[in-house]
Chains A and B, each alone.
Chain A
Amino acid sequence: QVQLEQSGAEVKKPGASVKVSCTASGYSFSGFYIHWLRQAPGQGLEWVGWINPKSGGTNYTQNFQGRVTMTRDRSITTAYLELNWLQSDDTAVYYCARETRRQESCSDTSCPLYTWLDSWGQGSLVTVAS
């Protein structure tokens, strides 16, 4: 079955960096984008970005531009999220999730491609405190 296993909790000081891993199993790693999201304590879900494991291409939300790097190692089916210049408001549970796609038939004007996050890691708590 599809599984995403994330690395353990981390405690970091302000200004430091953190690297969270997400190891995939049970499916073809290169065939599905991996998204990263985070959830601050008691708050909602915030999307960080995605990586295409096949090409290494990435897309980051503007809020994290310049501070975030997503990478992958296909040989060990693992994706990574690295976040730099940590501040206290980066304290959150970080999730990886697999994107599944469904291509619909083309109409006169469009060829809809539906995507959703069908499998999630268990989450990695990152705490930033001095």
Chain B
Amino acid sequence: DIQMTQSPSSLSASVGDRVTFTCRASQSISTFLNWYQQTPGKAPKVLIYAASFLQSGVPSRFSGSGSGTDFSLTISSLQPEDFAVYYCQHSYNSSSIFGQGTKLQI
């Protein structure tokens, strides 16, 4: 199975900061990589699909990049509602594995 490793596991930042999360796959997955945001008590919400495409309705301060094994999610200017847990997910084959998540906190 393809394993997904996210770093860091947690990150402290302030409103207005630019932050970047990383996700590494254990083998090449081309651009079959999605990013999700989860706030406490809520279901996850997709932000980015296919490594760099912004899901409809998601603010443009979110962006994704990468291919192969290394990927990143960037928030250009943090807003209060962005403090959450972020997960990457590969969709390379018929199975699906999530990274362990990065918790973004104030």
Give the contacts of B10-54 with A (CB-CB under 8 A).
30-32, 34, 36, 38, 43-46, 49-50
Chain A residue at minimum C-beta to C-beta distance from B95: A61
The answer to whether B105 has its CB under 8 Å from any CB of chain A is no
- Which residues on the B side are within 8 Å of A117 (C-beta)? 34, 36, 44, 46, 89
The answer to whether A72 has its CB under 8 Å from any CB of chain B is no
Provide the bound-state CA to CA distance between A45 and B85, in Å: 11
Which one of A7-15, A24-32, A76-84, A118-126 is at the B interface?
A118-126
B34 touches A59 (CB 8 A): no
Min CB–CB distance A125 → chain B (angstroms):
11
Interface size on B, residues (CB 8 A): 25
Provide the bound-state CA to CA distance between A115 and B100, in Å: 20
- Binding site secondary structure of chain A: strand
Number of A-B contacts (CB under 8 A): 59
Min CB–CB distance A65 → chain B (angstroms):
12
Chain B residue at minimum C-beta to C-beta distance from A117: B46
Q: Per-residue CB proximity of A85-119 to B under 8 Å, as 1/0?
A: 00000000001010000100000000010111110
Chain A residue at minimum C-beta to C-beta distance from B47: A116
Provide the bound-state CA to CA distance between A46 and B4, in Å: 12
- Which residues on the A side are within 8 Å of B38 (C-beta)? 45
B97 touches A47 (CB 8 A): yes
- Which residues on the B side are within 8 Å of A102 (C-beta)? 49-50
Min CB–CB distance B34 → chain A (angstroms):
4
B: residues with CB less than 8 A from A are: 1, 30-32, 34, 36, 38, 43-46, 49-50, 55, 87, 89, 91, 94-101
CB pairs A–B below 8 angstroms (6 shown) = A45-B36, A45-B89, A47-B96, A102-B50, A114-B49, A123-B43
Other than A97-B44, A112-B30, A117-B89, give 19 A-B pairs with Cβ distance below 8 A.
A35-B96, A44-B99, A44-B101, A45-B36, A45-B44, A45-B87, A45-B89, A45-B98, A45-B101, A47-B95, A47-B97, A59-B95, A62-B1, A95-B43, A102-B49, A114-B49, A114-B91, A116-B46, A120-B45
